[in-house]
A and B are shown apart, each in its own frame.
Chain A
Amino acid sequence: MTINTPNGFTLDNTGKRIVVDPVCRIEGHMRCEVNVDDQGVIRNAVSTGTMWRGLEVILKGRDPRDAWAFTERICGVCTGTHALTSVRAVEDALGITIPDNANSIRNIMQLNLQIHDHIVHFYHLHALDWVNPVNALKADPKATSELQQMVGPNHPLSSPGYFRDVQNRLKKFVESGQLGLFKNGYWDNPAYLLPPEADLMATTHYLEALDLQKEVVKIHTIFGGKNPHPNWLVGGVPCPINVDGVGAVGAINMERLNYVSRIIDQCTEFVANVYIPDVIAIGGFYKGWLYGGGLSGKSVLAYGDIPENANDFSADQLHLPRGAIINGNLNEVHDVDPRDPEQIQEFVDHSWYTYGEPGKGLHPWDGVTEPKYELGPNAKGTRTNIEELDEAAKYSWIKAPRWKGNAMEVGPLARYVVGYAKGHEDIKNQVDGLLRALDVPVNALFSTLGRTAARALEAEYCTRLQKHFFDKMMTNIKNGDSNTANVAKWDPSTWPKEAKGVGMTEAPRGALGHWVKIKDGRIENYQCVVPTTWNGSPRDSAGNIGAFEASLMNTPMARPEEPVEILRTLHSFDPCLACSTHVMSPDGSELTRVKVR
């Protein structure tokens, strides 16, 4: 059957059905089904979130000052970003402002997460879609060294001996017959295009990045005590600053600040000397493979983040841009208002929830979710052994959020498209530079490769911002301001009887919002609409397909039974499924079981 979706895609589910479950190298659990025509081209795509944890129902009745810790556990990969969103939502509801140093430290932590997450995503979750480590065994270490010195001349690890050592180690690993993580990979699939030298260089950087990433997060450890899952605080940050007085070793002191400064430099060097050059080098070999654009050239959404000044979230004061683009009209960037009940709504007609009536969309402040797990009449298999889903019915644990009725893509590419369209100077310079380096037109941006490249550019931009906020904090301390927390409204007796607020951030994967209602000092309702809910959403009542689904459309597969191209495109979004599957139950009997303390 052929269906034309309102957002401009032609779906045809008559061809061979291919199921990928589990989709690996992502956070959480996800399934994907596609139909391919007799040329092996994807003509229908179905993306399914296959987990549900119910965190929002758990939050009901709890102390709003504790909510950051609960929501932080939504995701351990983008660790901290939910916590930041949560403290912002609670502060918004209760009218709490934070000191300047707290704004700088929060920004440094959030930027640090972006950098870490983008590096780990590219090298450890995504690279194997482009890079073939087995092919690296055929590389000439000397030629690899030359390649390295050409693309990343400032990276010190570039000698032929260095690459020979890594290659020998890989060889031993492969010859042991225990392939571990590389077992059953698609290593002879023609979709891999890199020459052996580029494969060896990138595989070497896979290992370097694994060592580097554990250093990057130490900024979280210094300010938040640990990583993953550092500690946060409503009203500021929990770490005091003391550079002069008695007991300075119990606080952020000069030694700690130097430590942070060194890591900021380390991040900057790695991104500039390794990550960006790798993306350009790999991109150069794949620039003929520009599939996967999906919604990126049509409908993108960004909330914006990284406020220059504490407590000022106006769009022109944010370093990461805010705005929405619809219908592919890059000449008009719409303003986004998370409080407007008409703008952001979630639909559940194709999700395993019910609102009691079909076609209904709900704003997050009024959001409800009642789980309803059922397979459609055309599904194959059984309730507990799904062979094929029926996408005409309910088929995912992810809801379908829409902005003014539009399915939207969020994430680094969405942010960069919005920024580019708004004429954001840093973003424009970066993008134009990349397009020149790869010798591709601006439309090349709307692709799987564009998504991957935007992430790298953003990591580079974030390293500069990280330094900026470190310097800003140092200046502030120098001027005598050491404050890190505002405790005026810490005590719940100072709170209004009822309040509601919204917190927004740009998580590594895209626009993230938390909506909270507080009553009598306790959480009355809590809703999260997260990046992968936007990107991984199923169809909505009108039949619009979501960003993952759209991005897979019309992609040719070299070997349909080996899902390299599907993985490549899905991974370019950096899916995070534990984030995306959420719930708020309206079922009274369930809620009354929440202990109010």
Chain B
Amino acid sequence: MSQIETFYDVMRRQGITRRSFMKYCSLTAAALGLGPAYVPKIAEAMETKPRTPVIWVHGLECTCCSESFIRSAHPLAKDVVLSMISLDYDDTLMAAAGHQAEAALMDTIEKYKGNYILAVEGNPPLNEDGMYCIVGGKPFVEQLKMAAEHAKAIISWGACASYGCVQAASPNPTRATPVHKVILDKPIIKVPGCPPIAEVMTGVITYMLTFDRLPELDRQGRPLMFYSQRIHDKCYRRPHFDAGQFVEHWDDENARKGYCLYKMGCKGPTTYNACSTVRWNDGVSFPIQSGHGCIGCSEDGFWDQGGFYNRLTTIKQFGIEENADQIGMASAGVVAAGVAVHAAVSALKRAQKKSQDKVED
């Protein structure tokens, strides 16, 4: 097994020197709030680890999570798949099919009991005895339970696995059910979004491989490092919000100046995600930067929150800003609700988060 390519090998192969590698390890330690004593530990882990088996199953979904995953720029998807994990079952990408695919699944479960990661894309429908999603002639929910039984941990990719997403939108005809409501006895990391950002997905996986533990999670089970702040909190258009400068119509002068999209229905103020910081596709842009409001795709039940172009009316107030309707002097047809928007005062963030979580619980 000495032939297995480790993280360190990958980095060396990409022309990174030993010195840079150690620097990377110390930066990683610092970024995670670990002392210098952890640096050699991280280095050792990255130099010697064999590839962790990953089983990736698919329920009711649209495959946008897989598509996002292969967009990862750092690390590159090919390096993840060839050198960091061993993707032993993934019906979207694997060479085998049918019996041979099922054999690969059973073999991995048997051989790596308790040591593989189960990644779930999509969710199981429970109506019609589960037969709205069939794998190998049986309900997907059976495959999910079987694969979960001996998993070390489960990653719920995307809004489907985390919350139900579009097929669970009202009236949820198939009774599409998120993973944590079916699997009750395993640690589950939710990585919501439709889809999640590629580098967030690979970031979560590499964290687990590097540190051999789960990332720090919030009460909903989302990694704090990517989901603890609202898009609004770090939005580059935030100064326009604070100054009361809003887009009033699509493609108006204000839109061309890059003003705030709050009045066009942007859900950035209520959406926890890394879009305004990590951004999308190697940092190229994110929805607001490209002129459309956030639709809130990493939030539970975002399909049933009253339309993507309806302005938020339920944001909690923290006091320093004027009501946005008053500032912007309302465009025609605005529902004049008592709209209030929170301020991203950093000291209040934790309190805010807790109250948000309570509402969502």
Contact = CB atoms under 8 A, between A and B. Distances in A.
Interface in A260-311: none
Contact of A20 (B97, B104, B171, B176): B97
Nearest to B51: A178
Interface in B81-109: 81-83, 85-88, 90-101, 103-104, 107
B129 A229 contact: no
B333 A491 contact: yes
Instruction: Give the one of A176, A242, A250 with max B CB within 10 A.
Output: A250
Interface in B117-147: 125, 128-140
Given A24-B91, A25-B97, A225-B292, A58 B249 contact: no
A242 B213 CA distance: 47
B138 A221 contact: no
Contacts of B291: 225, 238-240, 251
A242 B94 CA distance: 45
Contacts, number: 345
Contacts of A493: 333
B51 A176 contact: yes
B346 interface: no
B212 interface: no
A381 B131 CA distance: 14
B309 A63 contact: yes
A270 to B, nearest CB: 16
Contacts of A75: 62-63
A478 interface: no
A223 B167 CA distance: 27
B167 A53 contact: yes
B76 interface: yes
A29 B61 CA distance: 10
Contacts of B289: 225, 250
A229 B194 contact: yes
Contact of B257 (A79, A220, A250, A593): A250
Contact of A175 (B3, B62, B308): B3
Contacts of A52: 125, 132-133, 174
Contact of B285 (A19, A25, A182, A222): A222
Interface stretch (B34-42, B67-75, B177-185): B67-75
B5 A176 contact: yes
B1 interface: yes
A236 B65 contact: no
B96 A186 contact: yes
Interface residues of A, number: 116
A222 B285 CA distance: 6
A184 B87 CA distance: 12
A180 B81 contact: yes
Contacts of A583: 173
Contacts of B94: 24-25, 181-183
Q: Which of A28, A63, A371 has the most CB of B within 10 A?
A: A28
Contact of A69 (B249, B284, B308, B332): B308
Contacts of B27: none
Contacts of A214: 70-73, 77, 198, 281-282
Given A383-B129, A485-B250, A247 B67 contact: no
Given A24-B97, A57-B173, A169-B82, A29 B5 contact: no
A53 B127 CA distance: 11
A79 B125 CA distance: 23
B256 A240 contact: yes
A249 interface: yes
Contact of A384 (B77, B104, B129, B285): B129
Contact of B135 (A21, A185, A224): A21
Nearest to A259: B284
Contacts of A238: 250, 290-292
A55 B303 CA distance: 12
B304 A228 contact: no
Nearest to A571: B97
Given A66-B308, A73-B194, A173-B82, A221 B281 contact: yes
Interface in A377-408: 381, 383-387, 397
B173 A590 contact: yes
The residue in B133, B138, B284, B332 that gathers the most chain A C-beta atoms within 10 A of its C-beta is B284
Contacts of A384: 129-131, 138-139
A591 B51 CA distance: 49
B95 A185 contact: yes
A553 interface: no
Nearest to A134: B95
B104 A27 contact: no
Given A22-B91, A31-B137, A58-B166, A228 B290 contact: no
Contact of A235 (B68, B82, B250): B250
A262 to B, nearest CB: 12
B192 interface: no
A230 B172 CA distance: 24
A51 B303 contact: no
B169 interface: yes
Contacts of A63: 307-309
A226 B285 contact: yes
Interface string B259-294: 100000000000000010000111011111111100
Contacts of A69: 295, 308
B165 interface: yes
B92 A25 contact: yes
Interface string B29-63: 00000000000000000000011010000101111
B186 to A, nearest CB: 23
Nearest to B56: A181
B53 A178 contact: yes
A184 B3 contact: no
B135 A22 contact: yes
B323 to A, nearest CB: 23
A181 B87 CA distance: 6
A22 B98 contact: yes
B194 to A, nearest CB: 6
A81 to B, nearest CB: 12
A27 B58 CA distance: 10
Q: Which A-B residue pairs are the 5 nearest by beta carbons?
A: A250-B258, A76-B64, A247-B257, A225-B287, A185-B95
5 contacts: A23-B98, A53-B166, A221-B284, A384-B131, A578-B63
Interface of A: 19-29, 31, 50-55, 57-58, 62-63, 65-66, 69-70, 73-77, 79, 120, 124-125, 128, 169, 172-173, 175-186, 207, 210-211, 213-214, 217-218, 220-231, 233, 235-236, 238-242, 245-251, 259, 371, 373, 381, 383-387, 397, 482-485, 487, 490-491, 493, 561-563, 567, 578, 583, 585, 590-591, 593-595, 597
Interface of B: 1, 3-5, 13, 50-51, 53, 58, 60-68, 70-73, 76-78, 81-83, 85-88, 90-101, 103-104, 107, 125, 128-140, 165-167, 169-174, 176, 194-195, 198, 237, 249-251, 255-259, 275, 280-282, 284-292, 295, 297, 303-304, 306-309, 332-333
